Structure 1
């Protein structure tokens, strides 16, 4: 029982270490996606008339 508990504990620690190691990369990708979405919204606002002709509602 002790061995099983120790194994599960170690696996959890390794998983947390991996998640912490990839956090900066995930944050960078998230920031890039937010910037892309923001630029898309700005383009939609600036060219609203043009997009209204293409995508009539």
Structure 2
């Protein structure tokens, strides 16, 4: 979708009345993608845990 909007914005035949709405939508899509990437990184960081050092006193 992002690429489709970008192509339309770059098209010299794109009606000027559509430029503002398409630009806003392009910004919204970028923010949504950024949020999804951030959520994925946080989820990956939360699930990956290293092994703890062995402590015999813990038994």
Structure 1 segments of 4+ aligned residues over 6 angstroms from their partners: none
Partner of 1:48: 48
More helix by share: 1
State the TM-score, normalized to the length of structure 2.
0.50
Unaligned runs of 5+ in 1: 1-11, 50-57
Relative contact order, higher structure (CA 8 A, sep 6+): 2
Number of positions where the alignment pairs a residue of Structure 1 with one of Structure 2: 37
Unaligned runs of 5+ in 2: 1-11, 50-59
RMSD across aligned positions (CA): 1.9
State the TM-score, normalized to the length of structure 1.
0.52
